[in-house]
Amino acid sequence: MKASGCIIILVVTALSAGCLVMGKNKECQPFDSGELERLVPGRTTASEVSGIFGSPRQVVKMSNGNAYIYKRSVAKGTALWLLIVSLGNYDKQSDQVVFFFDNNDILTHYGASLDADKASYGLPF
């Protein structure tokens, strides 16, 4: 085989050796963050919150009551192989809602961070 033929085969092999993988993981807890508007600090009870949002992922004892934590997350992974270089990126973001209750199980505060849809595919730089 002539040299030009060898080079063409090598170039075609090199270019076709690249590979791209994209994946997605989800930790799902089916709560509706739109229901937050129904809550009234000072009036809503812990059982009402459980009735609306379901069972919390975690309950934490605080100095003046309890906190219920609801959490779900989305992770997006990208991997790229190009000849001798391989690049991987994994981005995990969460939706999290925390409710604070006093010792009488009345809602005092709540906070929500809704970032799960910000998880993105990409490269590690």
Binding site for other proteins (CB under 8 A): 2-4, 7, 10-11, 13-15, 17, 41, 60-64, 67, 69, 83-94, 96-98, 100, 108-115, 118, 124-125
Smallest distance, other proteins to C-beta of residue 99, A: 9
Smallest distance, other proteins to C-beta of residue 48, A: 19
What is residue 90's three-state secondary structure?
A: strand
Smallest distance, other proteins to C-beta of residue 3, A: 5
Nearer to other proteins, 15 or 20 (CB): 15
Nearer to other proteins, 37 or 125 (CB): 125
CA 31/CA 54 separation, integer angstroms: 7
Nearer to other proteins, 38 or 109 (CB): 109
CA 14/CA 85 separation, integer angstroms: 12
Asked whether 108 and 41 are in contact (CB, 8 A), the reply is yes
Asked whether 30 and 53 are in contact (CB, 8 A), the reply is no
User: Where would I find the beta strands (DSSP E) of the chain?
Assistant: 19-27, 58-62, 65-82, 85-101, 107-114
Nearer to other proteins, 64 or 104 (CB): 64
